[in-house]
Amino acid sequence: MMSTYIHKSHNVSVIMYHFVFPAKYRIAIFGEDVDKESRDICLEIAQRYEIIFLEIGVDRDHAHF
């Protein structure tokens, strides 16, 4: 896995998080439309707040960020 240092005016950092969001009762409700929309939203967030998403993925019953 590649790590990228974040250089700001007063610090240098690397922070990595792994978020998993399961659907209630693990019901298979996520599809390709949810996958595309979540990617678009994450890319907008990344651009606005200068963060990098290493992976964005949606399975049938959970999402990973």
Per residue in 10-47, pLDDT (tens digit) is 988 888 899 999 988 888 989 899 899 999 999 999 99
pLDDT in tens, 25-34: 888 989 899 8
Eight-class DSSP state of 6: E
What is the reported pTM?
Answer: 0.70
Contacts 24+ apart (CB under 8 A), 14-18: 16/54, 17/65, 18/64, 18/65
Residue 1 domain-assigned (yes or no)? no
* Cα distance between residue 28 and residue 7, in whole Å: 40
Residue 36 domain-assigned (yes or no)? yes
pLDDT of 1 over the 70 cut: no
What is the count of structural domains for the chain? 1
Task: Output the pLDDT for position 22.
Answer: 92
Domain that holds residue 31: 6-64
Residue 44 domain-assigned (yes or no)? yes
Residue 28 domain-assigned (yes or no)? yes
